[in-house]
Amino acid sequence: MHPCPTPHGRARRPAKNVNSKETAVPPVQNGVRASSLDARWVKSRHSNAEGNCVEVATLFDGGVALRNSRDPDGPALVYTPAEVAAFLAGAKDGEFDHLL
């Protein structure tokens, strides 16, 4: 398998197989009101007093929800555990460092 080009012209390594088992899409739909989810929201200890925080929660069905802490009643984005694992692996490998 050849490395895939990125939008910035750099080659990236093929994604690691974080979770070989396919995980079904959670039944909770993206955009659901975050405050309607029966979830315990957690934010990073790196968050600051200005409210620049993303909060995460594990859902009853195993999905992972994210919300903007400044809008706790706003929409939540919901991902499978495999999707979150793939994103975290990429973040740990520095694949998204160009965003900051």
- Alpha-carbon distance values, 56 to 8, 79, 81, 98 (Å): 29, 11, 12, 23
Question: Which amino acid is located at 14 in the chain?
Answer: P
Domain range summary for the chain, segments of one domain joined by +: 19-99
pLDDT at 28: 76
Give pLDDT tens digits along the chain (100 positions).
Answer: 334 443 444 343 444 444 444 556 556 778 889 988 989 999 988 887 777 789 999 999 899 999 998 899 999 999 999 999 999 999 999 999 999 8
pLDDT at 22: 52
